[in-house]
Amino acid sequence: MMYVAEFGSGKNIAFGIHGWGGDHRTFVPLLPYMPPQWRLVAVDLPGYGKSPPARLDSIEIVADALAEHIRRCETPVVLVGSCSGAVLALETALRVPNHIERIVALDLFATMPWYFRLFTLGTVGSIAYHLTFGTEIGRKLVNAFLWFRRTRSSDLTSSFSDKDAGTTQQYLHLLGTLPGPERYHALKVPVTLVWGERTFRGVKEAIPQWQRVLAIEGLHCIPQAGHLLIDEAPARVASLVFAR
């Protein structure tokens, strides 16, 4: 079971999938810019927000559950994924391509960066993860260290403060099992790639890889924005999501 939040009552549906440390509230900054003919549907992945924990043996289980929710929508959706949620959007789209009008992928990595993989390495990785993301001082240090990947008003780690560290680390493990862009070469759903000018190098370096395998509809670099595009540039992101 996944908690599903709905905002608005329009016929056009944007379906949001949050990232590694988020929940359905990730998409709330878009609401002031949502036209009346739109509706925003956003989920809490299992173990996040208002969704109960679940045993997750593979990322495919999560994608299957997301696909089932999308099948219940009355019309094809615009699927919006943020960070690791963008990878989940692609994985979900493989299952229900006819139910998806297009995909808006925000700050999409092609593979897990090496510095995240360190947190998946046995006991040492688990201890390091909990000290980094499971403590207030750890989160503050990471946010301060990554000042150049965000705007002054945003916080890269605050969303982890009310998340179970064991759950978020489990998702990190699962995301690390995905093989990379070639998995999605058969996906014909149009994709808009969006990234921040100040985002991680791995996101920028991944763009040519995604161009080779996806049906790219648009490429958009948002000036001055970092990794948290919805927080830092909600009006610009909304203009891409709620487009006709």
Please state which of the four CATH numbers 3.40.50.2300, 2.60.40.420, 3.40.50.1820, 3.30.470.10 is assigned to the domain occupying 3-111+179-241: 3.40.50.1820
Q: What is the pLDDT of residue 129?
A: 87
**Taking 90 as the threshold, does the pLDDT of residue 63 lie above it?**
yes
Q: Out of 132-136, 139-143, 148-152, 203-207, which region has the weakest mean confidence (pLDDT)?
A: 148-152
Q: How confident is the model at residue 161 (pLDDT cuts 50, 70, 90)?
A: confident
Quick: pLDDT tens for 127-143: 988 989 889 998 999 88
* Cβ atoms of residues 107 and 83 within 8 Å: yes
Average pLDDT across the chain, whole number? 93
* DSSP-assigned beta bridge partners for residue 196: 222
The 10 Å CB-count burial string (b at 16+, else e) for 101-140 is: bbbbbbbbbbbbeeebeebbeeeebbeebeebbbeeebbe
Q: Closest Cα partner for 65 from 54, 75, 76, 74? A: 54
Question: CA-to-CA distance for 25 and 82, rounded, in angstroms?
Answer: 12
CB atoms within 10 A of CB 56: 18
Average pLDDT over residues 102-108: 98
Q: What is the pLDDT of residue 234?
A: 97
pTM of the model: 0.94
Residue 102: which of 242, 222, 8 has the closest Cα? 242
Say how many C-beta atoms besides its own lie within 10 A of residue 204's C-beta.
14
pLDDT of residue 236: 98
Q: What residue spans define the domains of the chain?
A: 3-111+179-241
